[in-house]
Every structure is written in structure tokens, then in C-alpha cells.
Structure 1
């Protein structure tokens, strides 16, 4: 199924990701390729029991052409769930998989088995930020790619640590590629691109983030990683979503244990340690032991 058709389906208001994934599971790509857009909508209506999915085909066609032109001009690749080379890590999460992703930069990280997500609060302690840089440097030195979300705080520390060591880092954006969020990290975004990193997003290029896009971003972080290192997080932080997805996807979890002034910043870390749902990292030696448990396929 051509990615332009997937783009069109994705632009139909009210047509969710899981419905498109169900379409993929129910019919072969060869069969779907022979269908007109209207025929696919009719099939979806039958599958879901809806009377009708409303759409304006001309508007969708124009918007699709704009997206394709933007991707061509800005060297953005489109992967769809119908592609043979769609990342296996997304296939492994079933109906949580994205329908399509936009990718800019070194896309090999989407297929590697040597990724670790380093995440946490936007407002870490100085100690937490410094350790985020230090641990990310140590991971990068071993050839491990760092995944994070470009947010202020712990995400910034993670990407910075990777760049410091000349390592590879991948950004999961809540916004569309080209719409840097937060704007305060535009220089970091540019540095990641200039130094061979990768940016991915489910949103169409240039789109601003919506509230639920941050949770969607968190699931992509967990899916692409072999392990997740949580630097600092309260139980109400967005990082808690990454943690829950990591549990769901059976990822190996670790958390930094260090002194902080604001104890709420360590609520999730303490929960992980107390309930033994992950490894406690108190120093570099602990980090190296955890890395050994991951069994990464380091390049």
C-alpha cells in the first residue's frame, strides 16, 4: 500500500490509528493497493459498523500533496505500517504501533537493538541533571544510542551527554518535524541534526503538539528502547507514562538514586526501587551492571 494512501487515511477526521491497523491485519497490501480510496473507506465502515466516515476527498488530496512536497524539500522519510522495512520494534507492540512516522536523519537507530531511553522531569535537581549527562556519556561511550524527547531538564541532559561523546541520539518529538518543541531547545535540535542524530514524529511536518501527543511520544520512546533509565520523576510526571509503557512492553528499567532537595522528584524512582520493578543506579558501577543485563547488540 503506497504511503500516500496511508497519509490520506490518516487525515480522515475520526479515523483512528487502531482502525487503520485493523485494516492492515485484515487484508493483504496487494489487495488494498488495487482499491480506490472510497473503497477503503467503505471497507472500514463495514469493519467498524459505522454508517459512514465523512471526509472531503479534495481537501485530503491537497493536504497530502502539501505534506509530500514538504517531506521532499526537507529530506523527511515516511515509514508506514504497511512497509516491509517498518521498524520491527513498532510491529512488536501490536495495536500500540504507529500507523506512520516521519523520520529525519540517521534512521538506522529505528532498527538497532542498542538503544536506551534516558528520561525524567523537566525540572530536575542540579545533581539529577549532571548525572543525566554523566550516565548518557557513559552509555554513549559503549556504543549505545540515547533516546529522549528533547524536553527541558532530563531529556536535555540525555541528548547533551550523547553529543559530548560523539555518540548517537534519537529524538521522539511530540510535534511535527520542523516545529521544534520546546523552542528553547532549538539549538540542541540543530546540534543533534548536524552531528548525525535522528528526529522522528507521528505528527505531520510542522504541526504543533497537542496534549495527547506527549503521551504518544512517551510510548514511542519505550517501544524503540531496549532499556529505560529514569533520572528523576514524580508520580504525576509525563515520565510515568514512559514507565508504564516500558512495563507493558517488557523493557528493562532502571532509575537513578541520588539526593534531591525536592523529594517529589524521586517518587517514581523510589517506587521502582521499593517494588523492585527496575534496577537502582547509584553510581557508574551500577550502571555498567545494568548495561550487562540488557544484552545489547552494540555496533
Structure 2
């Protein structure tokens, strides 16, 4: 039996893209290259641009990573890279949506060697300071599993399908819903755990006069839209990575409080059988966020996809 074809999706928030320190920028991109991602979701791409000096830097990043890629609209502070030997870009989405400071980057990608295995991949960075904006932005992220395409089944019938999301990698700037924590996973911070008062306001919202709760609404919205937290799924597998999959992606700090898992990858729920592994890669010394890496069995993605939509092999 042939061994499975594994692909990796990585989500990396590289603090201010190195903040002008080219040596750090280079080290981070070389480190990411060693992970051999097939899709890379990058947040905080300060200094990358489509034209001028920023385009040279963005081009250099693609050469180091050996990936193709696109920047999001506006400031270009999100980017999505992909391996052109595995995927063909069909569509770069227009995501210049109102209400975003850092607009998402999203693509429809087709698996090479197929005529109809089309998947959505995206990168997002929800608002740092506003729970209300994050709630609205999560509603926008729910557009990703809502893209409709017309196709023909194996018996020639023409029907419409909603494209599944292979991965949305995000800095969510919010928490997993408390009732969805994996047993043994670190709890979300309590309001009193956050010593920095502005950050208390950033990460919570008022439900009654004087009563604030920690923000987990984006997680709930995406779950409702059929997008699952892939790390949570992997941690609960009988032979999976366990709590390593749901390790904190932000370390404890004076401003943000206890360590917690703010960076997450979401996928359409029916693709979850294709998840082979999830890990959190330590980026201490390079960034204030660690990197989430999801490994998929690509052949299983294709098999599940074809079964779901009645496509011929």
C-alpha cells in the first residue's frame, strides 16, 4: 500500500515581521522553511508590499520558503503562501471588506492532478482591541465556507456545492469557548488575571452593567458555520497528539496574562478525518506567538471530498 501524501498547513504570526531587523526576518523565514509547509498563513507582514522595496522583500520570502503567495488588501498585513506543485490557484478572493484593519487573504486552490478538487484556504488577523469588531469579523470569516460552485457529479448531473475550507489560519485575539476546552487544556484567563487594564477591555465585553466576560464569540460563530478548531479535534483523537496539539501559542506576560491559545486553524468539519497531526512549534526569541502546524493526509482529503460530492475518481 502506498504511503499517504502528507501536506502541512502552518499559521504564523511573526511579530511586526521582524520590526525592521532583517537578520531576525531571515532567521524566521529560514525556520519556517524547515517546517516545509504546503500552505502558510502569515500575519503581521509589515514591510511586505506588492510594489517597491516591500515587493522585493516579499519576493525574497517566497524564494526562501519555495512557495507562491499573495498579500491581503490594504496594508498587506496578512499573506497566504502555497506550494504550486501541490495546488493551483483558481481564485484570489476580494476580501477588502469594511470593518477590517488587517484584511484577510483567501484563495480557492485546486489540487494538482484533479479537475474538480477545489478547496478554500485563508489567513486572518482579528481585531486586537475590539470584541465588537471581532464578532463582526468572525461573521465575515463565515463567508469562507459559503462559496458556491457549479459542478458535475460522476453520473453527469449538474449541481451546486459549497466549497469546503481546508484551513483558515488566524490570530484570533480571543479565546476558545470555555465549554470546548480539551480536558487538561489550560483554562482561558480570567479577567482578574490580566493586569493591564486596556488589555482587559480588549479581550472582554460587557454583558450587564459592571459584568464582563472573556471573548470567545468568534470561536462560537465559526463552530456554528461548520468550521472546527482543528487542534481540538486532533487532541481528542485516540492516537492523536493529545494536549500537545492545544499547547499555548502565546506565553504568559504582564499585559496578556497567563499563557493561552490565541492562534488557531479552522477547517470544514467533514474534512476532519483527513487530519493526521497538529503541533505547536516554539518560536521563542523570534516572535511573541508560536506557530501552529496541521498535517493532512492529502489522499484522504480527496477521498472524503469525492464521497461528499459524488465525484468520479
Please, what TM-score do these two structures have when normalized by structure 2? Answer: 0.30
Compare the two structures and name the one with the higher strand fraction.
2
Which structure is larger by alpha-carbon Rg, 1 or 2? 1
Compare the two structures and name the one with the higher helix fraction.
1
Please, what TM-score do these two structures have when normalized by structure 1? Answer: 0.31
Structure number with the bigger relative contact order (C-alpha 8 A, sep ≥ 6) is 2
